[in-house]
Amino acid sequence: MEEHLTRAFDADLQELALKVAEMGRIDEKQITDAIEALARSDATLAMQVVAADDQVDALQHEIEEKAIVTIARRQPMAVDLREIVGALRIANDLERVGDLAENVAKRVLLLGREAPINDAVFQLQRMAQLVLDQLRRVLDSYARRDLAEALIVWRRDEEVDGLNNSLFRELLTYMMEDPHKISSCTHLLFCAKSIERMGDHATNIAESVYYVVEGQPLLKERPKADITSKQTLPLPA
């Protein structure tokens, strides 16, 4: 009987892990498509990204429901309960990543056919690629319970912040030199902030992996170099 319960609980945990992995795959596609839509001013692709967010939301709800049922049925003890809590926390971060990709896509729709600023879009693509790499690595670390890999992702958040800071200054320069670009540059600034926040959620996931493996929170202060939240934007003349 006990062996049967153990197998059933393991199956529940595997189902949670598979749903988390599926959320991650959808998020990765949303990020890729949102940035491609921005680079190509592709409203159709942007609308597909917006529509795909429902899939991520649905998976998060499924994970929450599965976790509640599993806790009620299995009454797991400490180490097993950590697995369920970890899946819940990671699903929450992945849901937010999907929302942020949707935010980028919505900015594409607001920009319309307005010609993008190529240098800024290139920087946004670099940021997004770095965040995608972070997300893939941290989800792989979760699947393999690889603490060392999770900590690498956690420490690399400053790279995304650095690119965001550089792009922020670049777009401010464009706006000061040509007030007609303030609207489009503001949309791009919001895109950059959304991508930077995606990186934050990747590091959140790394902290959840640490919690699952070690059984305690990561108490070190997260490396952070984002200065854009302290800056103000110029007003239109």
Q: For residue range 171-211, list pLDDT tens digits in order.
A: 999 999 999 889 999 999 999 999 999 999 999 999 999 99
| DSSP, res 115 | P
For residue 59, pLDDT beyond 90: yes
Higher-pLDDT residue of 157 and 222 is 157
User: What's the pLDDT band for 148 if we cut at 50, 70, 90?
Assistant: very high
- Kindly state the average pLDDT of the residues 91-117: 92
Average pLDDT over residues 47-70: 96
* DSSP state, residue 228: G
Query: What domains does the chain contain, in order, with CATH numbers?
Result: 2-230 (1.20.58.220)
Statement: residue 230 has pLDDT above 80: no
Instruction: Give the containing element (helix H, strand E) for 125.
Output: helix 118-144
In this prediction, residues 124-139 reach a mean pLDDT of 97
Phi, psi of 42 (to 5 degrees): -100, 95
Q: Which residues contact 140 (CB under 8 A, 6 or more apart)?
A: 146, 149
Position 78 scores a pLDDT of 73
Reported confidence tier of residue 226, pLDDT bands at 50, 70, 90? low
Helices and strands, counts by H and E, the chain: 7, 0
- Angle at alpha carbon of residue 146, lines to 133 and 96, rounded to 5°: 50
- Give the pLDDT of residue 222: 66
